[in-house]
Structure 1
């Protein structure tokens, strides 16, 4: 455990001791707007206890055994777990949050499982116009809070395009300026998706140069690493690269959705853990997030095509399918990628043409009378499609989940049940049923840990003065309803959700209130003068 974490634990223990000894943890809440009464409170950084939480305006005004005075409204939380709203550090709900559809902007798949804050712009896709992204909530109300990354893919595409080449010196300067501007406008940090073209075409020194722009302005380096499997440099070397970028650029390194993907790397979790813990022991800040599913979500092209086949973008890729010599080179590499993914039965279409969604590549190949690779090429000719790829071992998932520096995430995107059920699934499957981690760890790694790691001021814990992002769920019934057959079903068991002091889920149903906010990171002023 690092010094900062140990200090926070000690302070939390002192606070918990004081709480047991006195009836109040804050000043009088006589004029509270709302009191959640009699729930089992998991504050995010202290031992649980039965008590009350009072809210005044958008802040928590009391946490303790019995709220003094009256309140305009009282919610009975007896028998429920009361916790900080969950913080999802890796999502793909950017278009939901900033789009035109007011109902989509509520982000109900998250609220209905207790997520009150999400990070967007992950995997290098973050719009460099951070001011526009974060300012969107002021004119288009949103249901949840959100922080935003500036993305390497978006920046590189804007300046260099989709080509497999290094940037010129002038282009690199332009990219650095985009990252710097985004950071000064409140970006959380610099995100990359080095597995995906065109980001995969970049060498490490290019990534370091851009990450430094985030570093001097107080940001985080978030990376979908270059290889989570055995596609190119391999899982171990890709972890080394992420750690190196963080060290050389001088900023915390965050490993996105940490995993060992594919049959070639199953069982490597202990070695990866040892590598990261060695970096942490040496004084570097490194942490990770994880979604609680054995199936990842990606595009069919990303899972099967070698990156050289995507050089120049989709149009160039389609032309290669029509070139016999290129296709002859391509097919063996696609076969190998399919093997490492576990075969055609392991790839489930989750988005794209309606007649394909819900079918495995194996089933589509049999229906068409084609070999799986030919079926895949035919699909890619039609349209880009999303897939769920069943490619992880439960032993690796559990090994990563037990670590105190691995926080919860969803990687939520349309078509995969993780959008609607990740937090509920982690509770039901890994806390309640399999007992991989205890309830307190689940809550703290979904709340206080990400708030601390990403410097979210006054969020992630239940304490007086903190923003009132609060949830109450039934420990007997909290569970996902979404699965791969029906991925768009709300979770069950969440009774109350409060965002910035407003009740947005009441008696297990959404109220329609949009109380979320954009959360700009405070950049270092001297670097933005």
Structure 2
């Protein structure tokens, strides 16, 4: 049964109301099983689908679930189930794991309906990583909602971020930390790792993290390494801004080598006209490090346009020293403004020109317009148009800066996994997994269906040691997606980025049905996924 748009809209409206009904905690379900309230056999049986178990060939059969676990994955389940879900003609896969999202605000929201994160569930995403690009709050216990009573629609893990550490200890200034400040940041990193952070994330492209030298990052990465963490990085340059794409990849690999920590390159890409065609060289560098025994992997979102802030895309880093107020003051200094204009024009060129920068967030009257569209009102000068917008407020842009040949070259590598980089104003929040399937599996046949599913499930589960997830096997957590291979597709685009994708029929998270007949049930069964530290220096929980 396929859900109608009216039914879906009605369900969404209901979820946003005050009468939202949430799922019983998974622990309560488990207690019911132990108390004998659930009869012998499975609670849920998903039957008759083509099962892609994650890391293995597909087969036609059944998935049986009891409590929050899969109790059977095979050709035919021999027992009864309290509930049967037909998957005839459907693809059954592990719930998708998104290793790079900006869903922090949704998961931390005070609004229960926002914490369901429906843009993810309607694509089949059941686990998300937050705290990326160096933004992860050092107070990981608070992020995980300890004693908050919050419930969540999806499972999630988090990083501790360099930007958040610098902001807390140093602020926005362009300078190196003192010895005492670096020690304080290291202590905060240690605390965050003890509280369950995945590792250290950085956004070295962004001010004030761009002010950090490699040695500072290595010091903090070594702390994360002692706990068994990951070094995740939005690298210093994906283009030709500073040290270049090749130099930034080399820096990330070197940080991993010095700190003896696995390296994850966030949203790998060749950004801008100066580096189009360099995917091959980046792949060679990563695979050379892997051949030497270093752990290096990456994620990728399936879009030719990135999403970032207008100031991050165009403003020189020196002009952002001290934060937004200091930047705006420089706009009023003629000598500094002349230099800013020159560098903004160069940054605009490397990103493909004013027609390639679409405003997705900011003042209402500029939304959906490119800098080329705004230029006539600024005397024909797109740089002035950008300055006029920034004087009013920070803005978000979709920056069309990638070449499809580079996207395909990265996508086929076995160490590159699917991600969304989900952020407001960009369709990747609502449609990345659906688009990857529809565009790169069905339409262009860059990868096949099993590659798509593996890159979205078992590959990230293994890379990040997410125990019990990413595969459909007995004993695994019951995170399952059932989708229609003929109708799984995106609806969101750059002008309407908040349209839900279609084709996902059923989503089960920790044994609870979160999407039924294509419509959300309102049940919040996701869980925080703290990483267990291997350090003996952490206090007892």
The TM-score range, normalised by the shorter chain, is over 0.9
Normalised TM-score (structure 2): 0.92
Spell out, residue by residue over 1:236-271, the C-alpha distance to the aligned partner (whole angstroms, 9 max, x if none).
Answer: 000000000011011100000000000000000000
Q: 2:251 aligns with which of 241, 259, 277?
A: 241
Spell out, residue by residue over 1:270-327, the C-alpha distance to the aligned partner (whole angstroms, 9 max, x if none).
Answer: 0000000000000000000000000000000000011000000000000000000000
Q: 1:60 to 1:224 in 2, by over 3 A?
A: same
Following the alignment from structure 2 to structure 1, what is the Cα–Cα distance between the partners of residues 324 and 247?
A: 28
Displacement after TM superposition at 1:69 (Å)? 1.2
Query: Which residue pairs with 2:236 in the alignment?
Result: 226
Following the alignment from structure 1 to structure 2, what is the Cα–Cα distance between the partners of residues 422 and 389?
A: 16
Query: Which residue pairs with 1:55 in the alignment?
Result: 65
Secondary structure of the residue aligned to 2:256 is: helix
Q: 1:217·1:528 contact (CA, 8 Å) conserved in 2? A: no
Alignment of 1:346-385 (within 5 A): 346-385=356-395
Following the alignment from structure 1 to structure 2, what is the Cα–Cα distance between the partners of residues 85 and 109?
A: 14
Alignment of 1:330-479 (within 5 A): 330-479=340-489
Alignment of 1:261-280 (within 5 A): 261-280=271-290
Q: 2:362·2:396 contact (CA, 8 Å) conserved in 1? A: yes
Verify: 1:115 aligned to 2:136, yes or no.
no
Spell out, residue by residue over 1:190-223, the C-alpha distance to the aligned partner (whole angstroms, 9 max, x if none).
Answer: 0000000000000000000001110000100000
Displacement after TM superposition at 1:138 (Å)? 5.9
Displacement after TM superposition at 1:46 (Å)? 1.1
Verify: 1:295 aligned to 2:286, yes or no.
no
Normalised TM-score (structure 1): 0.94
Cα RMSD after superposing both structures: 1.0
Following the alignment from structure 2 to structure 1, what is the Cα–Cα distance between the partners of residues 530 and 108?
A: 15
For structure 2, which runs of at least 5 residues remain unmatched after alignment? 1-38
For structure 1, which runs of at least 5 residues remain unmatched after alignment? 1-28
Q: 2:377·2:385 contact (CA, 8 Å) conserved in 1? A: no
Following the alignment from structure 1 to structure 2, what is the Cα–Cα distance between the partners of residues 271 and 346?
A: 25
Displacement after TM superposition at 1:370 (Å)? 4.0
Following the alignment from structure 1 to structure 2, what is the Cα–Cα distance between the partners of residues 458 and 206?
A: 35
Secondary structure of the residue aligned to 2:398 is: strand
Query: Which residue pairs with 1:199 in the alignment?
Result: 209
Displacement after TM superposition at 1:381 (Å)? 0.6
Q: 1:91·1:413 contact (CA, 8 Å) conserved in 2? A: yes
Spell out, residue by residue over 1:344-386, the C-alpha distance to the aligned partner (whole angstroms, 9 max, x if none).
Answer: 0000011111111111111111244341111111111100100
Q: 1:31·1:70 contact (CA, 8 Å) conserved in 2? A: yes
Query: Which residue pairs with 1:25 in the alignment?
Result: none
Aligned residues: 501
Secondary structure of the residue aligned to 1:176 is: helix
Query: Which residue pairs with 1:510 in the alignment?
Result: 520
Following the alignment from structure 1 to structure 2, what is the Cα–Cα distance between the partners of residues 102 and 265?
A: 43
Query: Which residue pairs with 1:10 in the alignment?
Result: none
